[in-house]
C-alpha cells in the first residue's frame, strides 16, 4: 500500500529534475548540443562526487568508453570514447555518491552530426 502510494507519487512528479548536489555544472558535450566530434566526455561538479557507474548509450545500444577519472571523489570527471562516435543521438548516464553520502545520479544527451 505504502509502496503503491509512493510509486503513484513518483509517477505524478515523473519529470523529476536531478538532485541538488548533482548540479553537474558543465558537461562536454553540453546537454542537448549537436556536435561533429566527441574527443572526450566530461562533467564538472561544484562539490567532489564519487562517480561509480557510467554508461553511454546510442539507439543501437551501449557504447564502450574508457574512464580517465577513477572512482575517487572528484570535481571533474573525464572519459574517452574508444572509437569515433558515429552520427546519431547519445545519452550519458552516471551514478555515484556525493560527499555527504547521498546517492546521486544524472544524465546528459547530445547528438553527433555528420
Partner 1 sequence: MTGLAHIDGLVVLAIVAKALGYSAALLAMGGVLFAAVFSQRAEASVLRLARQLAVGAALVGLAVLAVRFGIRAARISGMGIEGATDAMMLGFVWESPLGTAAIWRGLGEVAILALLIPRFGQWIAMAGTVAVAISFAQVGHALGEPRAALAVLLVLHLLAAAFWVGALVPLYKAARDPAGAELLHHFGNVAAFGVAIVIFAGTSLAWLLSGSVTALLGTAYGLALLLKVAIVAVLLCFAAFNKMRLVPALRTKKSGAIRALQRSISLEMLAVTVILLATAIITSVTAPPVNL
Contact positions vs partner 1 (CB under 8 A): 2-3, 6-7, 9-10, 13, 16-21, 50, 52-53, 55, 71, 95-97, 99-105
Nearest residue (CB) to partner 1, 30 versus 71: 71
Give yes or no for a contact between 114 and 36, defined as CB atoms under 8 angstroms apart: yes
Nearest residue (CB) to partner 1, 38 versus 104: 104
- How far apart are CB 103 and partner 1 at their closest, in Å? 4
Nearest residue (CB) to partner 1, 104 versus 112: 104
Burial class (CB in 10 A: 0-12, 13-18, 19+), 44: middle
Give yes or no for a contact between 49 and 21, defined as CB atoms under 8 angstroms apart: yes
Amino acid at each position: 500500500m505504502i509502496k503503491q502510494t509512493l510509486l503513484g507519487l513518483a509517477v505524478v512528479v515523473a519529470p523529476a529534475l536531478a538532485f541538488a548536489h548533482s548540479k553537474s555544472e558543465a558537461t562536454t558535450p553540453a546537454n542537448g548540443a549537436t556536435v561533429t566530434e566527441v574527443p572526450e566526455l566530461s562533467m564538472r561538479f561544484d562539490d567532489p562526487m564519487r562517480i561509480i557507474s557510467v554508461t553511454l548509450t546510442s539507439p543501437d545500444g551501449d557504447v564502450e568508453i574508457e574512464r580517465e577519472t577513477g572512482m575517487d571523489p572528484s570535481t571533474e570527471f573525464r572519459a574517452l570514447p574508444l572509437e569515433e562516435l558515429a552520427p546519431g543521438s547519445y545519452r550519458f548516464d552516471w551514478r555515484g555518491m556525493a560527499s555527504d553520502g547521498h546517492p546521486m545520479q544524472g544524465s546528459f544527451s547530445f547528438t553527433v552530426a555528420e
